[in-house]
Amino acid sequence: MEGKTEKLVIIGSGPAGLTAAIYGCRADLEPLVYMGTKYGGQLMLTSEVENFPGFPDPVLGPDLINKMKSQAERLGARLVQDDVVRVDFKKYPFEVYTPSGVTKALSVIIATGANPRRLNLPSEMRLMGKGVSNCAVCDGFFFRGKKVAVVGGGDTAMEEATFLTKFASSVQVIHRRDELRASAALKKEATENPKISFVWDSAVTDVLGEGKVQGVKVRNLKTGAESTLQVDGLFVAIGYDPATEVFRGQVELDQKGYVALKNGTESSVPGVFVAGDVHDFRYRQAITAAADGCKALLDAEKFVKQKLEVTVPS
Ligand code: NAP
């Protein structure tokens, strides 16, 4: 295999990367997918998914990923559970490094996603999917008539809080300052919603409950006073960190570290395409990431076809 140049390397194995792999097989690009040692992305931490088309009954997040994985494998994708540790997009063919060695590629799709920021409380991780969530659109439905809390003061927190009022009986927004960072429109919508109240200058110090969330402990950062909020759900909406460290200096990133798009799904480097939450901080849904994977593949297919026509004239 030494010296072989791949037509397409896909980095990432959430819905974006795996959809690109499925389409890549159909386009005869024989995709090689570096899935990462912790494959699957955010869906691996989600419980029931009820909004992915094609599943009339709820499907568990990890099951959905495993179905996509099986579909890609059945079509011929090579899925490798390795982390990409370095890339060199200044060379062509591109070079992609893993602990096992270097792979040369005519095109690359970056689909490494973004990681929701955590409060870093042990109880938060223990109750993740059991009342603690990072996605109101995914999980809000399960809190019909219940009390929930949202942590954060940015656009995501306001959007999540407002969305949750469709289901929850009350939404308490816990913010570490007394001023919201969110844009004027989202702030107005949230502050004028009668179901939403604010717990200012406060931090969550513990999530209470054994098998499911029963409340949160909150400390007022100005007075030090501690209190308990009786809630059934906690939505942590304190931002995301795009998984782009390995691409720094190789493709253009925006101010927040997301990969900047230049031409359709193409990055600043022709031949390096982008799909899913690694560039999209706005929609962040499994279905939009999957659609992005498809678009990136169609762009990569055109790019590779041109390259092959130039290098191997028929
Ligand atoms: P963000 O703007 O970075 O806001 C994060 C919020 O969480 C801030 O209020 C921050 O507090 C708080 N926070 C951060 N770390 C915390 C911690 N450890 N403990 C407690 N609170 C913490 O993130 P975002 O709201 O996800 O938005 C990210 C980007 O996406 C923004 O550019 C936003 O405009 C965009 N976005 C746009 C839309 C839309 O246009 N519809 C929707 C969602 C997001 P401080 O304020 O004190 O820093």
Pocket test for ligand 1, best of 281, 283, 284, 285 (most atoms within 8 A of CB): 281
Are the C-beta atoms of residues 49 and 55 closer than 8 Å to each other?
yes
Atom of ligand 1 nearest to the CA of 118: 18
Give the length of the chain. 314
Residue ranges lining ligand 1, Cβ < 6 Å: 117, 119, 151-157, 159, 176-177, 181, 238-240, 281-282
Nearest CA to ligand 1 atom 48: 181
Interatomic CA distance for residues 76 and 95, integer angstroms:
22
Name the residue among 131, 310, 120, 92 with its Cα closest to residue 229: 131
Interatomic CA distance for residues 278 and 110, integer angstroms:
8
Q: Is the pTM of this model over 0.85?
A: no
Per-residue model confidence as pLDDT tens digits over 94-123: 999 999 999 999 999 999 999 999 999 999
Per-residue model confidence as pLDDT tens digits over 29-76: 999 999 999 899 988 877 778 889 999 999 999 999 999 999 999 999
Nearest CA to ligand 1 atom 19: 119
> Given this model, what pLDDT does residue 48 score?
77
DSSP-based helix, strand, coil % in the chain, nearest 5: 30, 30, 40
Nearest CA to ligand 1 atom 43: 156
Longest CA span, the chain? 76
Quote the tokens at residue 11. 């980095």
Is the predicted pLDDT of residue 1 greater than 90, yes or no?
no
Place of tokens 């390397």: 9
Ligand 1 mean position, distance from CA 186 (Å): 12
Interatomic CA distance for residues 214 and 208, integer angstroms:
6
Catalytic residues: 135, 138-139
Please return the burial class of 60, using the count of CB atoms within 10 Å of its CB with bins 0-12, 13-18 and 19+.
Answer: middle
Quote the tokens at residue 45. 């931490």
Name the residue among 16, 68, 8 with its Cα closest to residue 278: 16
Per-residue model confidence as pLDDT tens digits over 176-231: 999 999 999 999 999 999 999 999 999 999 999 999 999 999 999 999 999 999 99
